[in-house]
Amino acid sequence: MAHTPAARPRVLTAPDGTPFRDLNGNGVMEPYEDPGLPVAERVADLLQRMTPEEKAGLLFQTMVAINPDGSLVEPEPGAPDDDPMRASTSAMVTGKLMNHFNLFGAAAPRRMAEWNNRLQDLAATTRLGIPVTISTDPRNGFVDNPAASVHTEGFSLWPEPPGLAAVGDEELVRAHADIVRQEYLAVGIRLALHPTADLATEPRWPRVLGTFGSDAEVAARMVGAYVRGLQGETLGTRSVSAMTKHFPGAGPQLNGEDAHFPYGREQVYPGGNFDYHLIPFEAAFAAGTSQVMPYYAMPVGTPYDEVGFGFNKGVVTGLLREKYGFDGIVCTDWGLVTDTQIFGAPFPARAWGVEDLDRLTRVERILDAGADQLGGEAAPDLVVELVRTGRVTAERVDASVSRLLREKFVLGLFDDPYVDPDAAARICGSPEFTAAGLAAQSRSITVLKDRPAGAPAPLLPLAPGTLVYTEGIDRAVAAQYATVVETPQEAEVAVLRIAAPYDKERTAGFESFFRAGRLDFTEDELRPVLDVASAVPTVVDIFLDRAAVIPEIADRAAALVADFGASDTALLDVLFGRVKAGGRLPFELARSMESVVAGHEDVPDDSGDPLFPYGHGLRLG
């Protein structure tokens, strides 16, 4: 059922001729409504007008869904309220007085813009008319994971971050983030829950695909460029705020497990490399990142308390606030307080190290640690209770509320939070942006091998019209480059697209989105690839969402290339010589699982004798 909010606030003219949005509906331009005043004065004025409940609502950011037609999600009375795809938008905005939301799901860009305007209209019906800040995980890549990224039709399509690192061009990264900024602005998204400044030092970790690889200095250059592309040199009304994550670096997970789950809660530093993981964050600070997200995991064997980073005062206050002087917004990762369900299965709060604390005390611990906002939670009543009972001071809440309001004012949301649906349809996925994304996909492709055993010359590039057998490629696309045949025996060359392996037995429910465990192929998985390679010279393209262990394929393939998110067109443009690949491996590919297991989780590229080292990449011809 769609909700139709009241009309948006009137734009009035003050006695001095200044136009303003009458957010509280009293016909007078209050200081917080005055676009001509300094942000600090507007924040101070609004802060003293707010009730404890309004302040508490500001401290929570959770998921909100969108209907395909761009209307607000309003379930029938009595529907479950613990599913973000069915939670009532109006209950959160006008009931819980929340005004920060992570957009869950997608619609066409025009519909997303219309949804933003309806949501802002709804927020305008609240007592003070505080506008909503909409955030999102990355939407311009190939992977769809409800915990990490949202592939969105209608947006330009780019390689995942390791692909950008494979190119290694800071200007490409800045231009990419600037296009993301323009597409987000067009639909009303003002906060990016990225970039990821984590390092891929543990190749088994399921979130390697969000990183800029294993080298801290390269990742630092990429992260800095990304933040500048989103925000500009300073945050302003045409910026998208960057929430850099996951402080102080989420890569070194014990045995490569993911901290979304209890078995992955430990972050370890057997190589004594804690400071190495801070280097990309230092670049984000230098670029002016507006926000930072601590990770779920709990550090083990460090000077810091063995509790999740969102609860960790030594990390958030001591390291982030005091050592680095960060005065922006700190928002926790999602779901540290409340047990819930995802896809019908229990999903406990990620309260690692403080599992024994009740919900009220967990919130108290997070605020004491120095965070401003709780991600993935919708429980303002807990903050109200903490202040009412004196466990948290009103001054402590005001400090976080001030930061959160300051950003809304700087972004210009109080003066105009609305967008033009026609412009959204025109800007998002425009021919120019689509072409730029496609070019980046091709540039990021990394050629690992290009000489069949015993052959006097490289196999690539392929000649137009070559008789080609394909697997994993759209035949209609392949037919634009080659003569596509039905069997390997008919072909001059085979082209196979495969993905990196993982433990498929660990794919129930929410865990199915996290490709974890082994990096090597089983015999059953290898057989069909090697059978084709035995029948005809074969090009294998492997999607490296993690650093696969592929010695058998490397040995038998006539040519081997890696991609980090590339369409069939982007790949075939490279294989047939229309576009030059420019990628170099952003992490090493180990020779065996034994060498992966023997490595240190916090040390980059330490397998000892890699099959392909960091930075490897051939140039065709």
Distance CA 343, CA 156 (A): 29
Q: What is the enclosing helix (H) or strand (E) of 57?
A: helix 52-58
Residue of 34, 169, 198, 333 marked active site = 333
Is residue 277 a contact partner of residue 229, using CB atoms and an 8 Å limit? no
Is residue 379 a contact partner of residue 369, using CB atoms and an 8 Å limit? no
Distance CA 61, CA 334 (A): 9
Within 8 A by CB and 6+ apart from 38, the residues are: none
Distance CA 504, CA 506 (A): 5
Q: Which of 302, 298, 311 is nearest to 265 (CA)?
A: 298
Q: Which of 581, 560, 563, 572 is nearest to 473 (CA)?
A: 572
Distance CA 78, CA 88 (A): 11
Strand order through the sheet with 467-471? 446-450, 559-563, 538-543, 493-499, 467-471, 483-484
Tell me whether residue 259 is exposed, middle or buried, using C-beta atoms within 10 angstroms of its C-beta: 0 to 12, 13 to 18, 19 or more.
buried
Pairing of strands 340-342, 345-347: antiparallel
Q: Which of 239, 378, 261 is nearest to 308 (CA)?
A: 261
The one-character DSSP state at 331 is B
16 carries an active-site annotation: no
Which amino acid is it at 205? W
Distance CA 253, CA 201 (A): 9
What is the DSSP secondary-structure string of 169-201? -HHHHHHHHHHHHHHHHHHT--EE---B-----
**Residue 413 phi, psi dihedral angles, 5° rounding:** -65, -35
Catalytic residue positions, numbered: 333
